[in-house]
Amino acid sequence: MKKVSRKVGKYEVGRTIGEGTFAKVKFARNTETGESVAMKVLAKTTILKHKMVDQIKREISIMKIVRHPNIVRLHEVLAGQTKIYIILEFVSGGELFDKIVHQGKLHENECRRYFQQLIDAVAHCHNKGVYHRDLKPENLLLDGKGNLKVSDFGLSALPQQGAGLLRTTCGTPNYVAPEVLGNQGYDGAAADLWSCGVILYVLMAGYLPFDETHLPTLYKKISAAEFSCPFWFSPGVKSLIHKILDPNPETRIQIEGIKKVPWFQKNYVPVKHREDAEVNLDDVCAVFDDIEENYAAEQSENYGGPLIMNAFEMITLSQGLNLSALFDRRQDYVKRQTRFVSCKPAKVIISTIEAVAQSMSLKAHTRNFKTRLEGISTSKTGQFAVALEVFEVAPSLFMVDVRKAAGDTLEYHKFYKDLCAKLDDIIWKPKEGMAIPACLEQ
């Protein structure tokens, strides 16, 4: 018996598309409308154990408050017996980070467009009294039309009543403002803008302005704003970046100033969006009240084989109806989540992966055709982990989804390349000119 597809309320749940310390993100489909969504799944026991109820409530509330075309939309929140489900807009174009890794520096006009959309989104957040505090290319997604969407408000902060400055040091070191590292109170708006400046530099250069493996040296360079712009930066963008990466938050350019800069103004069309009616947070409270009659119906799972990938998932995985991107691993080798196809039996795929993991000095944990590989990162600074899951896409044809679960994204790219080389015997390779395997053309 095959593993049945899982349902939570009106949502049919598919593969895992993201994984963090406290949550997994699943691809899902609204069976009433056919709309694809991202379902963030959190275990209630984890939330209680780590005393995260207030933080999760805040994250959900923030995402309901900051509705904007360039911010990932929160549709609704559901509660099950043991889990909380946050239903989010599904953004199909991947991370901006992947685009930078794949292409290196982007064209100046493209950089400008992304930066304009980023500033529009950040301005909207700040107008609502919300500060993101972890802006970086990994948290900037692209939709099918190439529009930027800000995601991951897990570190966002709403100002406390009567308190003007934030005091929590958080974010990713390379993108963090000097005053945040200073362990003193800081202005959330100014700190967000510093991160925007680093992002603009990365888009234009293809690498970071501050990049040292030795953290004290990195912090010293950030605090002194010690960086230089490469020769291909135009005078306009170079001037703007220096105004944003000002180590003094008091003199750092603000959003109003950025929007007046001629470089920013070029081809700038402010995004149009209607202000929603007053946001109702009653459902957020209801989710944490643990009232059984409000629980979403959760369909149980039967295991006997890999999950069969539905057609709607396959189409979303591919670009339009061209399924070739599914089966040519060269097309998505740069992504944090990658995949390959095999005609070997599912159990053979899993056992081969486990054997390869052992040869790479990684521990393997397998359950229900899902395998997690764990080891120490090459920099010896923390854990490196990868999750793999086998799906049946057609009779005797299986797709293996591979995604980073912990560690550095660039390290993951190298790992995936090495993994594919070692799994070469089980990976199906399309013949020259073949778009999709014959068994999928029926």
In which residue ranges of the chain is CATH 3.30.310.80 found?
A: 307-427
CA atoms within 13 A on the CB side of 305: 14
The fold of the 307-427 domain, in CATH, is TATA-Binding Protein (3.30.310)
* pLDDT tens column, 134-176: 888 878 888 888 889 988 765 444 444 344 444 444 446 888 8
Q: What pLDDT was estimated at residue 366?
A: 87
Structure tokens at 74: 């929160």
In which residue ranges of the chain is CATH 1.10.510.10 found?
A: 96-265
Q: What pLDDT was estimated at residue 264?
A: 94
Residues 6+ apart with CB under 8 A from 26: 13, 14, 15, 16, 17, 38, 39, 41
- Choice among 134, 152, 246, 332 that is catalytic: 134
Q: Which residues does the annotation place in the binding site for ATP?
A: 49
Q: What pLDDT was estimated at residue 310?
A: 57
Q: What pLDDT was estimated at residue 161?
A: 39
Distance CA(283)–CA(57), nearest Å, equals: 11
- Residue 73: φ, ψ to 5°: -85, 140
3-state SS, one letter per residue, for the chain: CCECCEEECCEEEEEEEEECCCCEEEEEEECCCCCEEEEEEEEHHHHHHCCCHHHHHHHHHHHHHCCCCCECCEEEEEECCCEEEEEEECCCCCEHHHHHHHHCCCCHHHHHHHHHHHHHHHHHHHHCCCECCCCCHHHEEECCCCCEEECCCCCCECCCCCCCCECCCCCCHHHCCHHHHCCCCECHHHHHHHHHHHHHHHHHHCCCCCCCCCHHHHHHHHHCCCCCCCCCCCHHHHHHHHHHCCCCCCCCCCHHHHHHCHHHHCCCCCCCCCCCCCCCCHHHHHHHCCCHHHCCCECCCCCCCCEECCHHHHHHHCECCECHHHHCHHHHCCCCEEEEEECCCHHHHHHHHHHHHHHCCCEEEEECCEEEEEEECCCCCCEEEEEEEEEEEECCEEEEEEEEEECCHHHHHHHHHHHHHHCCCCCCCCCCCCCCCHHHCC
At 356, the amino acid letter reads V
The fold of the 96-265 domain, in CATH, is Transferase(Phosphotransferase); domain 1 (1.10.510)
CATH of domain 6-90: 3.30.200.20
Q: What pLDDT was estimated at residue 405?
A: 77
In which residue ranges of the chain is CATH 3.30.200.20 found?
A: 6-90
Q: What pLDDT was estimated at residue 177?
A: 83
Q: Which residues does the annotation place in the binding site?
A: 49
Q: What pLDDT was estimated at residue 52?
A: 74
Low-confidence ranges of the chain (pLDDT < 50): 1-4, 155-171, 315, 318-336, 434-442
425 is an active site residue: no
Beta bridge pairs of residue 403: 337, 387
Beta bridge pairs of residue 218: none
239: exposed, middle or buried (C-beta count within 10 Å: 0-12, 13-18, 19+)?
middle
Q: What pLDDT was estimated at residue 123?
A: 92
- Pairing mode, strands 36-43 and 83-89: antiparallel
